[in-house]
Amino acid sequence: MASHQSRSQKRTIGRVMHEFKHGELKSSRGGKVKNPKQAVAIALQEAGASKYESGAENKRHLAKTKGKERRGETAEQDVEGRSHVTSRKEEQEETRAVLYRRAQRRSISGRSKMNKTQLKRALNRSSD
C-alpha cells in the first residue's frame, strides 16, 4: 500500500471495498471476487496507488476510474442507484413547483389543476 493517498484515492478504495463487501466486485474475467487480498489489489490499482505499477500507469488508472465514476458506471452506483452525479437531462428538468411559479407569473388560467406536462405545454404556448 502507498504510504500516502489522496482524498480521491481513499474514496475510490472505499468504493471498491464496498463493492467487494456486497458481492458486486468483479474481476477482469467477469467473475465475482471472493478473495479479500484480490479485492485490495483491485482497489489499489483502480485508485492509482499500486506499488507494483509505475507512476504514469497509476495516473492512467486513476483517471480511467474517475471517468467511470463520473459517468455512473461503477457497480455500486448501478446497483444502489445513488450516483453523486446527475445527468445533464436531470439537471435541466424543472419540478412542477417551479413550473407552477412561472405559470403564476405569466397569469396562466387553470394552472392549479394542471400537471407538470400540461404546465410545460401551457408555458411553451404562452411564450410563442
Same domain, yes or no: 74 and 106? no
Q: Which pLDDT value is given to residue 23? A: 87
Q: At what angle do helices 55-71 and 36-47 cross, to 10 degrees?
A: 90
**pLDDT surpasses 70 at 81:** no
Mean per-residue pLDDT, 15-37: 87
Same domain, yes or no: 104 and 67? no
Q: Which pLDDT value is given to residue 90? A: 52
Same domain, yes or no: 49 and 98? no
User: Interior CA angle at 96 toward 94 and 119, to 5°?
Assistant: 95
Same domain, yes or no: 59 and 12? yes
Same domain, yes or no: 16 and 67? yes
Same domain, yes or no: 72 and 24? yes
- Mean residue pLDDT across the chain: 83
| Structural domain of 121 | 94-127
Q: Which pLDDT value is given to residue 7? A: 87
User: Interior CA angle at 124 toward 123 and 126, to 5°?
Assistant: 65
Same domain, yes or no: 71 and 120? no
Overall domain count for the chain: 2
User: Interior CA angle at 11 toward 20 and 92, to 5°?
Assistant: 105
Read off the pLDDT of residues 28-54 as tens digits, 9 standing for 90 and up: 787 888 999 999 998 998 898 888 889
d(CA 58, CA 63): 9
Calculate what percentage of the chain has a pLDDT beyond 70.
Answer: 85
Mean pLDDT is lowest, of 30-39, 40-49, 57-66, 90-99, for 90-99
Same domain, yes or no: 98 and 37? no
Mean per-residue pLDDT, 23-32: 84
Same domain, yes or no: 82 and 98? no
Whether 34 is covered by a domain: the verdict is: yes
User: Hey, how many other C-beta atoms are within 10 angstroms of the C-beta on 70?
Assistant: 12
Same domain, yes or no: 37 and 78? yes
What's the distance, CA 78 to chain centroid? 9
Whether 1 is covered by a domain: the verdict is: no
Same domain, yes or no: 48 and 75? yes
